[in-house]
Copies of this chain bind each other. A is one copy, B any other.
Amino acid sequence: MTRRVSSVELRVRYAETDRMGVVYHTNYLVWCEIGRTNHIRESGMTYREMEDAGVGLAVAEASVRYHAPARYDDLVRVETVLAEVASRTVTFDYTIVNAESGARLATARTLLVSIDRNHRVSALPAEMRARLEADAVREA
């Protein structure tokens, strides 16, 4: 059994650096959001469509380990894996690497909770869940 790894690249913005000369640490979590958006898109729907249909995914937990700094103008790759889908939650794992050297920059995990238009926790609609699960688990 393997899980699909989606990949998206981005170039580091000047705005994302801080006075230490490297990327400010919270921006890696913004990049995870880009990885997640891209991962969902590749599963055949978009997160915008999910929200338009009244289903939100709110970040309930986030954790990051920083291994090496990204710098201005670096080309960075975010690799995203859907780790787990439950009735009301979705967990993604991320590995952020320098796209040119392959060096690992950060690893992260986020747990998202499915909410309705009124921001109440609610079960993921079956079709969306099926799409994410089909995506998560693929036989080798």
Copy tally for this chain in the complex stands at: 4
Q: Is A1 an interface residue (CB 8 A)?
A: no
Q: Is A29 an interface residue (CB 8 A)?
A: yes
Chain B residues contacting A119 (CB-CB under 8 Å) are 20, 22, 69
- Flag if A20 contacts B58 (CB, 8 Å): yes
Q: Mark A11-50 against chain B: 1 for CB-CB distance below 8 A, else 0.
A: 1011101111110111101100110010000000011100
Residue numbers of A with Cβ under 8 A of B are 11, 13-15, 17-22, 24-27, 29-30, 33-34, 37, 46-48, 56, 58-66, 69, 71-73, 119
- Flag if B66 contacts A59 (CB, 8 Å): yes
- Flag if A25 contacts B59 (CB, 8 Å): yes
